[in-house]
A and B are shown apart, each in its own frame.
Chain A
Amino acid sequence: AQTVTQSQPEMSVQEAETVTLSCTYDTSENNYYLFWYKQPPSRQMILVIRQEAYKQQNATENRFSVNFQKAAKSFSLKISDSQLGDTAMYFCAYGTTTGTASKLTFGTGTRLQVTL
């Protein structure tokens, strides 16, 4: 079974600074996808960034980028120029597709606080 581990329960960063959230996963699959979701206090789940395992190039989405190390099964999220609106819970998630099933397995989350 796949597992996703986020070892940082809480992180804090000052506005305009850069922060990196860690995520490791375990799988025996070769084809899979990795995601970072943001959950603000409203508790809506918002997709921040995704990475296909077969792509070597790290995904980037504006201020958000990932460091995907497939051999190490590591998938960290870097937030540059942090903004107050980035304050939220961040979940790393693993997804795979087998037949018609496509479930996401989530980590326990990292609570990010952006301060002035």
Chain B
Amino acid sequence: EPEVTQTPSHQVTQMGQEVILRCVPISNHLYFYWYRQILGQKVEFLVSFYNNEISEKSEIFDDQFSVERPDGSNFTLKIRSTKLEDSAMYFCASSEFLSSSYNEQFFGPGTRLTVL
């Protein structure tokens, strides 16, 4: 069964460093998302992406964050200068299409980001 994959599973970085989190969405999916979950808290929406541009972003997704689909398969989240509070689990998700019935997002296993 097709699935969303994410690499790495765990990333440790020093405060102020740049990190790139990678995701490979399901191949025929057109819509891509990033969410984050700070330990012990709820999952929060960061950004949605369609047709090579951002569809919507939350207030969390400030200028330190960027997303890109550099080729036909990868979808990346870049954090330019990491802060301690960026430590979280980052989930990538993808969905096939937006329909009038429902829109199921398939989640990847997550990347745990630890900022020291």
**Bound complex: CA A95 to CA B99 (Å):** 12
Of all chain A residues, the one with the shortest Cβ separation from B89 is A43
CB neighbours of B55 from chain A (8 A): 99-102
**Bound complex: CA A106 to CA B33 (Å):** 14
**Bound complex: CA A101 to CA B48 (Å):** 6
Interface residues on chain A, size class: 20 to 34
Interface of B is mostly: strand
User: Is A109's CB under 8 angstroms from B42's CB?
Assistant: yes
Contact with A along B39-82 (1 / 0, CB 8 A): 00111110010110001101000000000000000000000000
CB neighbours of A91 from chain B (8 A): 42-43
Contact with B along A36-58 (1 / 0, CB 8 A): 01000011111100101000000
9 of the cross-chain contacts (CB-CB < 8 Å) are A43-B109, A91-B43, A97-B98, A99-B55, A100-B50, A101-B48, A106-B44, A108-B42, A109-B42
Residues of B near any A CB (own CB < 8 A):
31, 33, 35, 37, 41-45, 48, 50-51, 55-56, 58, 89, 91, 93, 95, 98, 100-107, 109-110, 112
Apart from A43-B109, A102-B105, A103-B58: 8 A-B pairs, beta carbons within 8 A: A43-B112, A44-B109, A97-B98, A97-B103, A102-B95, A103-B45, A104-B43, A106-B42
